């Protein structure tokens, strides 16, 4: 038991009229939305790193947060940190959490000691996860913070780093499997480049493809039933990340024959950095058949940095969950808050309030999206817009055997003169507004 969140009771649902800053106004875990409860739809997860590891530093200043477990450089402090983390999961009532190896244990003096420490922390977690405790949405390896990774992880010019990464990922996958994790995530933190002047693009992409193929093979060898997820991001930390966005990742997976084995973990902030909307990336993942999970944290629209803020826009959440529902909802995936406080938000209670607000925004978004689907509010007009394509003649143009010259001849024989039809965007935006 930790006493870090002293005095904060488990968060209760009190309804939209509640004035209590530490109560849910929209997230009511057991409330049915269609055929599932809100908890089953949303599958909330809290991330370990931003909440319990980050010290509040920015490029111009160091630590602002004071937590009793900092600097967490001993196993004793790592366990104190775990106590606080699981206490927060309990207060929030979240069903899942996510972690990197580096978040939960201090690195050892050797690779073997690092692994032993991660295994020891997994034993510690196992006890806390038993008897209805929180479950693991995903595990992952931090192959970007230590200076050994500065020139890449699997894409490093030094083959010893590639081999080191194999050992790190194997250990993290083993631990994720042991803790019944539902997914394993690979975010290519340093898989990219700063300058082409020193980069062999061919080799680096080949190395990354081989590495991912071996990860997939290992997953099957150990009988891990969860999904392998790639998390796209266009830049930061490297200037050109190889996993730029969903479409780029799909092309990469196709090239290595992994498109049926690997899905994506789509993060709102990364979509924004890539110059996309979150819903664009989600729709793209759905249509390409690689939708997996989401990191539900936004970016500031002006700064151009990965600001990892808690979601606060019901409209954005509505459009995001609309795409999640269109994809059939989560299977192994969920809603992970890869979000951090602002560095002036010093109090333990700020950590709780941030998640409460984020969970409420997601709940509003889910309810609005579900209602919009039930009412056929967008799908009706969308079907009507494409209705012309339902005829046999139109479908015939797409069928195998149709030719450009054949279609051209028909168009010319009919002397076609197509008349533009309104896209009615504003009417549709007004419809969305009615549901939020
Ligand atoms: C970095 C990021 C990571 C991944 C996991 O921008 O989003 O925290 O989610 O490595
Ligand atoms: Co993320």
**pLDDT tens, position by position, 326-383:** 999 999 999 999 999 999 999 999 999 999 999 999 999 999 999 999 999 999 999 9
For residue 75, the cross-strand partners are none
Pocket test for ligand 1, best of 140, 293, 297 (most atoms within 8 A of CB): 140
Confidence at residue 1, expressed as pLDDT on a 0 to 100 scale: 61
Distance 117 CA to ligand 2 centre (A): 24
Residues 335/324, Cβ–Cβ less than 8 Å: no
Distance 190 CA to ligand 1 centre (A): 11
Alpha-carbon 375 to chain mean position: 28
Q: Is the CB of 261 under 6 A from ligand 1?
A: no
Q: Is the CB of 187 under 6 A from ligand 1?
A: yes
- Closest C-alpha residue for ligand 1 atom 6: 306
Which own/partner contact pairs does 76-84 have at CB distance under 8 Å and 24+ positions apart?
77/106, 78/104, 78/105, 78/106, 78/117, 78/121, 79/121, 79/124, 80/2, 81/52, 81/53, 82/121, 82/124, 82/125, 82/128, 83/1, 83/2, 83/4, 84/2, 84/4, 84/5, 84/52
Q: Which atom of ligand 1 is nearest to 270's Cα?
A: 6
Whole-number average pLDDT of the chain: 98
Distance 419 CA to ligand 2 centre (A): 45
Catalytic residues: 100, 103
Confidence at residue 2, expressed as pLDDT on a 0 to 100 scale: 77
Q: Is the CB of 233 under 6 A from ligand 1?
A: yes
Q: Is the CB of 267 under 6 A from ligand 1?
A: yes
Measured CA distances, 388 to 309, 384, 392, 418 (Å): 43, 8, 10, 12
Confidence at residue 7, expressed as pLDDT on a 0 to 100 scale: 83
Q: Is the CB of 338 under 6 A from ligand 1?
A: yes
Confidence at residue 346, expressed as pLDDT on a 0 to 100 scale: 98
pLDDT < 70 positions in the chain: 1
Phi-psi region at 152: left, alpha or beta (left = phi > 0; alpha = psi -120 to 50): left
Domains in the chain: ranges and CATH = 32-374 (3.20.20.150), 380-435 (no CATH)
């Amino acid at each position: 038991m930790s006493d870090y969140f002293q005095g904060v009771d488990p968060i209760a649902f009190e309804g939209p009229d509640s004035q209590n800053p530490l109560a849910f106004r929209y997230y009511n875990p057991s409330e049915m939305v269609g055929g599932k409860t809100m908890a089953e739809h949303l599958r909330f997860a809290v991330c370990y790193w931003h909440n319990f590891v980050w010290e509040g530093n920015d490029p111009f200043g160091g630590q602002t947060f004071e937590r009793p477990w900092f600097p967490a450089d001993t196993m004793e402090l790592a366990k104190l940190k775990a106590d606080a983390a699981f206490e927060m999961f309990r207060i929030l009532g979240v069903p899942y959490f996510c972690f990197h190896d580096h978040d939960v244990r201090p690195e050892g003096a050797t690779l073997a000691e690092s692994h032993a420490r991660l295994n020891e922390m997994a034993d510690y977690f196992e006890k806390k996860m038993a008897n209805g405790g929180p479950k693991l949405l995903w595990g992952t390896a931090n192959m970007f913070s230590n200076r050994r990774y500065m020139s890449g992880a699997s894409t490093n010019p030094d083959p010893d780093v590639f081999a080191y990464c194999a050992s790190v990922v194997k250990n993290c996958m083993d631990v994720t499997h042991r803790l019944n994790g539902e997914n394993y995530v690979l975010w290519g933190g340093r898989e990219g480049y700063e300058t082409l002047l020193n980069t062999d693009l061919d080799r680096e992409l080949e190395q990354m493809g081989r590495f991912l193929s071996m990860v997939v093979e290992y997953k099957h060898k150990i009988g891990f039933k969860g999904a392998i997820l790639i998390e796209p991001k266009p830049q930061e930390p490297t200037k050109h990340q190889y996993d730029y966005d969903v479409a780029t990742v799909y092309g990469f997976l196709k090239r290595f024959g992994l498109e049926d084995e690997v899905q994506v973990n789509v993060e709102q902030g990364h979509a924004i950095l890539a110059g996309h909307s979150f819903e664009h990336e989600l729709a793209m993942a759905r249509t390409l058949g690689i939708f997996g999970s989401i990191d539900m944290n936004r970016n500031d629209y002006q700064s151009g940095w990965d600001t990892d803020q808690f979601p606060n826009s019901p409209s954005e959440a509505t459009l995001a969950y609309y795409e999640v529902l269109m994809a059939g909802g989560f299977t192994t995936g969920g809603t992970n808050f890869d979000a951090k406080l602002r560095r002036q938000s010093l109090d333990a209670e700020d950590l709780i309030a941030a998640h409460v607000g984020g969970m409420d925004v997601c709940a509003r978004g889910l309810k609005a999206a579900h209602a919009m689907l039930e009412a056929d509010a967008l799908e009706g007009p969308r079907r009507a817009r494409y209705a012309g394509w339902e005829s046999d003649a139109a479908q015939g143009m797409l069928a195998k055997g149709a030719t450009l010259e054949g279609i051209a001849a028909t168009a010319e024989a009919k002397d076609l003169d197509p008349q533009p039809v309104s896209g009615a965007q504003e009417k549709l935006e007004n419809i969305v507004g009615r549901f939020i």
